[in-house]
Amino acid sequence: MTTASGRIIAAMAMILAFSGCDISVDGNGSTKVNGSVHVPAGKAADEAKTVNGSVHIDDDATITSASTVNGSITLGKHASATSLKTVNGSVTLGAGARVSESAGSVNGDLTLADGAEVGGHLTNVNGKIRLTAAHVGGGIKTVNAGISIMGASHVENGIMVDKPSGIMFNSQDPVIVIGPGASVQGELRFERKVKLYVSDKATIGTVIGATAVPFTGETPPN
């Protein structure tokens, strides 16, 4: 009986350890669990890390890094982080949020709201990249993503769309839109075929590997 009871208790402990759960992070400790991780508003934490679950950093919170494998990462309004990284999931920066280094996903959308900023690279392989009056200091790099740079967005160090290979290949040509008032400094280099639309009120650097199609108004023609 004792042995059987011990096995049951051990099995229950394993189930609890690996089941999804919400963990609030507040302080210097890192979190490595299966389940979502939450950094409360206005709080500070060194690291928020999970394997299967999302990471949500509330408004005005501060964190050094956030990462997950299967899950999204959300940085609230005016929150700050050093870096954000996921494999399968989106990365979203709220209005005025700031990432001092890099932010990226392998398979997931990247969205920067008004006044959001990424000081380093903004990267993904698959998904969409959307900037609205946001700033990226280290350039944008992707393979298959469509890119929309709208409002008074400012991208430094250009855009790079790599040539796909193997399982990364997507037969659809990525659509790149640089809207009125947006600015992209540096090279816009395309190692694969893309559809590039540039507003007549946008400012861009040298385009390599594509032909820019100018448009008037808020969005390009269908």
Mean pLDDT of 52-76: 96
10, part of any domain: no
Please write down the long-range contacts of 166-174, taking CB distance under 8 Å and 24 or more positions apart.
168/125, 168/126, 168/143, 168/144, 170/126, 170/143, 170/144, 172/144, 174/142, 174/144, 174/145, 174/146, 174/147
The pLDDT value recorded for residue 34 is 79
pTM of the predicted protein model? 0.86
Q: Is the pLDDT of residue 74 over 90?
A: yes
Q: Is the pLDDT of residue 29 over 90?
A: no
Mean pLDDT of 197-202: 98
Could you give the number of structural domains in the chain? 1
Chain segment 128-143, per-residue pLDDT in tens: 999 999 999 999 999 9
220, part of any domain: no
9, part of any domain: no
199, part of any domain: yes
Chain segment 155-190, per-residue pLDDT in tens: 999 999 999 887 655 678 999 999 999 999 999 999
Q: pLDDT confidence of 153, banded at 50, 70, 90? A: very high
Mean pLDDT of 113-141: 98
Tell me the CB-side half-sphere exposure of residue 93, using CA atoms within 13 A: 36
The answer to whether 149 and 169 have CB atoms below 8 angstroms apart is no
197, part of any domain: yes
Mean pLDDT of 67-74: 97
Q: Is the pLDDT of residue 32 over 60?
A: no
The pLDDT value recorded for residue 33 is 61
43 or 168, greater pLDDT: 43
179, part of any domain: yes
Q: pLDDT confidence of 126, banded at 50, 70, 90? A: very high
The pLDDT value recorded for residue 170 is 64
Q: pLDDT confidence of 31, banded at 50, 70, 90? A: low
The pLDDT value recorded for residue 171 is 72
13, part of any domain: no
Q: Is the pLDDT of residue 120 over 80?
A: yes
The answer to whether 157 and 141 have CB atoms below 8 angstroms apart is no
31, part of any domain: yes
Q: What is the phi-psi region of residue 107: left when phi exceeds 0, alpha when psi lies from -120 to 50, beta otherwise? A: beta
Q: Is the pLDDT of residue 4 over 60?
A: no
22 or 70, greater pLDDT: 70
**Structural domain for 169, as ranges:** 21-215
